[in-house]
Structure 1
Amino acid sequence: MNDSPGWATPGSSPSDGEGSPGTQPPAGGSGTDSKWSAEQPPPGQWSSPTPGHTPPNPQQPPAPQPGAGWGSYGTGPQNGWGAHTQAVKPGVIPLRPLGLGEILDGAVSTMRKHWRAVLPITLIVAVVVQLASVLTQKYLFADLVVDASSSGPGKEELESFGSLVGVSALDGFIQLVGSIVATAMLTMIFSRAVLGHGSSIGAAWREARPQLLRLFGLTLLLGIGSAVLFTVLVLPGALAGQAALAILGGLAALGVILWLWIKFALASPALMLEQTTVRKAFVRSSKLVKGSWWRIFGITLLTGVITTLLSGLIVLPLTVVGGLVFGGGLEGMADGTGATSWGYLISTGIGGVIALTITMPVQAGVTVLLYVDQRIRREALDLELARAAGIENYGTATPPTGG
């Protein structure tokens, strides 16, 4: 790892068959678990294991020395990574295993402290995404031909449906590209915020750009893989005309897809911050999530619920106002004419821009901080982060003198 925002794996990753630098395998361990830290204390209990040692005041962490760079730490029994005396906080999170509140607070704190870099990125992406959505609804759905009197689809209806599918695909592609670019740049900003460093839009773009194509490929693989898995499990029942079998296959597919999405939830930050390949990013995520699937699922689900509720609180009032004022009221919304009026579309578009601008960095930040948390718990990444932040002698403890 270096002191730039892109973190390389400290030493070799567990998947490479080696542990973190400066760490020793836990005694009596076996398999891959012996290569990861088994001695990390739970959140809020980051204290020195040395008997009789009194940790210094947590409000007065060791002052970084100018030019200290990475710093150093010992590798003996008293000076290894297991001898932390306190959890310092150079940036938006303390350097120890994180609790749920600290992960959410870290994401929000980064938005607040580094808003000049965060908000313009999400605002631009949100405007582009909502503009594409508004134009699609205005010029496509308004021209969609639906003739309920005919017994079968006519030529015009088929052409309209084909146009709908094509333009909707283009709209989805624009949203996909926008979200990938935003996620990549936000990942770099959050990585700097963990170290207490500021960032800029230009710096975030330069650091994220080399991995953008790989991140795009990773995202497509997840989406295509999910679609293929769903099709394979549902198609036999559908072809056999067995609705119950098709439903059962669909439920099984959803369960497997959910499991895989959480298993690979940390692949994106691993890809960006370790500057690795797509395959290795999937492997890294699988290693980091192993044994913590339910915890990561719970935090991810809670974050989704919070951001969804927040988006609803922003979008719903503007949608109602747009429908009543510009959409011809309840009558216009019922017959569909109000949903394609400029006033209604602009009103809902503004709500969507505001909601995306606020929720996008929260979701990206939680994912990055979950990645950091898992590496702290399993690979003692806090040592690397402390040295990158310029904190000297972090993780060392002086053995108590006799007396």
Structure 2
Amino acid sequence: MPPAPKPGVIPLRPLSVAEILEGSIATMRAHSRTVLGISLGLAVVTETVSTLVTGFFFNSNPSLDKLRDGTTTKVSDVLKAFGDSVAGSGSASLISMLGQIIATAMLTMIVSRSVLGRSVTAGEAWRDSRPRLVRMLGLTLLIPLIGLAIVGLGVMPGVLLALFGSANAGAGLAFLGGTAGGCVAIWLTISLSLSSPALMLEKQGVFASIARSYKLVRGSWWRVFGVQLLAILMAFIITSIVSIPFTVIAQIVSSDNTGGLLAGAGSHIGWAFLIVIGVGAVVGTMFTFPLSAGMAALLYMDQRIRREGLDIELARAAGVDGYAASPSRE
């Protein structure tokens, strides 16, 4: 049997897990200037804004200053300081999430072109992805909210029992309900994990993309879970390797009393620490963005190849002559 055609970064046939990873890396190599340029640009913007928000918020907050100095004994002040900390961390996380959404959208379009062996500029990727960014934002927020709601429903009976009955029995029931809800939330999150590439590449709405992902993952949950877990582990390893030297440098610089205006004072978060950590985050994100987006997009295509014979459509789109898919894809 002749080998499957390979006009781009993957062969047009059902893929192994290793080929999905290799295809993501191959996309980074083949379009390094575009892929790394997009990732670097978005990482610089998001980390700069996030660092400024974190620095100014935590170093110029009266409630946190009182808590650090030990000059407050009121419960209301402690709660306000806690709320301010959550708000500051949430703002920084939201900024990072927006950057990740834009990067995922643009990089998904690049991966779809690289499968066909075609090049794409950053401007073309932006024009293709821009009309669906709002839907991507909605999708990115909706799926975690669904998971939290499921966990909340699982915990709720135990909480009610603790409030109106036995505290010990309520705590036990809440633990069991939370565990069960967490398992269901993980199952549903993986089932919906292909929603983003479905939204971008099929140009569907949020709920249609969710239904599409559920259909594609059904019957292949463990395989999709394994690939997604591999992507998370790879991103974690890269981030850890990159962050270790920057964390050491940040500790050294921020503890230097001759650091001038950049050095933090007292128990405040020093600007030197934040800046060095931010630079490390930029370097790590520059590689993790395209790796995660690439693996998700290729996993989506692989599921469609296995279930719907997408390889035939891709071969025709790439201009491959004489290509015929086998009757069974499972």
Q: Give the TM-score normalised by the residue count of structure 1.
A: 0.72
Matches within 5 A, 1:40-119: 47=1, 55=2, 86-119=3-36
1:256 maps onto 2:178 in alignment = no
| Aligned mate of 2:141, from 210, 215, 220 | 220
1:288-330 superposed Cα distances (whole Å, 9 cap, x missing partner): 111110011011112211210111010111111210232359x
Q: Distance in 2 between matches of 1:259 and 1:337?
A: 45
Matches within 5 A, 1:274-289: 274-289=202-217
- Give 1:130's aligned residue: 47
- Give 2:240's aligned residue: 312
Structure 1, unmatched stretches of 5+, are 1-46, 48-54, 56-85, 330-334, 398-403
Q: Distance in 2 between matches of 1:389 and 1:136?
A: 46
Q: Which amino acid aligns with 1:184?
A: A
Query: 1:302/1:153 Cα in 2 relative to 1: closer, same or farther (>3 Å)?
Result: same
| Aligned mate of 2:254, from 310, 326, 330 | 326
CA RMSD of aligned residues (A): 2.2
**What is the number of residues matched between the two proteins?**
308
Deviation at 1:148, TM superposition (A): 5.0
Q: Distance in 2 between matches of 1:292 and 1:323?
A: 45
1:349 maps onto 2:244 in alignment = no
Q: Which amino acid aligns with 2:274?
A: L
1:231 maps onto 2:148 in alignment = no
| Aligned mate of 1:358, from 267, 287, 292 | 287
Structure 2, unmatched stretches of 5+, are 258-263
SS in 2 for 1:340: coil
| Aligned mate of 1:379, from 308, 312, 318 | 308
SS in 1 for 2:75: coil
1:120 maps onto 2:37 in alignment = yes
Query: 1:170/1:230 Cα in 2 relative to 1: closer, same or farther (>3 Å)?
Result: same
Query: 1:129/1:244 Cα in 2 relative to 1: closer, same or farther (>3 Å)?
Result: farther
- Name the structure with the higher helix share: 2
Q: Give the TM-score normalised by the residue count of structure 2.
A: 0.87
- Give 1:294's aligned residue: 222
Contact in 2 for aligned 1:327/1:338 (Cα 8 Å): no
Query: 1:340/1:286 Cα in 2 relative to 1: closer, same or farther (>3 Å)?
Result: same
Contact in 2 for aligned 1:266/1:371 (Cα 8 Å): yes
Query: 1:337/1:150 Cα in 2 relative to 1: closer, same or farther (>3 Å)?
Result: closer
Deviation at 1:339, TM superposition (A): 6.6
Deviation at 1:103, TM superposition (A): 0.5
Q: Which amino acid aligns with 2:192?
A: F
Greater relative contact order (CA < 8 Å, ≥ 6 in sequence): 1
Q: Which moved more, 1:342-351 or 1:246-255?
A: 246-255
1:168 maps onto 2:168 in alignment = no
1:210 maps onto 2:127 in alignment = no
1:196 maps onto 2:117 in alignment = yes
Contact in 2 for aligned 1:327/1:339 (Cα 8 Å): no
Deviation at 1:158, TM superposition (A): 4.1
Q: Which moved more, 1:158-167 or 1:187-196?
A: 158-167
Q: Which moved more, 1:183-192 or 1:209-218?
A: 209-218
Q: Which amino acid aligns with 1:349?
A: G
Query: 1:105/1:152 Cα in 2 relative to 1: closer, same or farther (>3 Å)?
Result: same
Q: Which amino acid aligns with 2:144?
A: G
Q: Which amino acid aligns with 1:376?
A: I
Q: Distance in 2 between matches of 1:380 and 1:95?
A: 10
SS in 1 for 2:15: coil
Contact in 1 for aligned 2:46/2:95 (Cα 8 Å): yes
Query: 1:396/1:163 Cα in 2 relative to 1: closer, same or farther (>3 Å)?
Result: closer
1:225-270 superposed Cα distances (whole Å, 9 cap, x missing partner): 1222222222332342422222222211221111011101111111
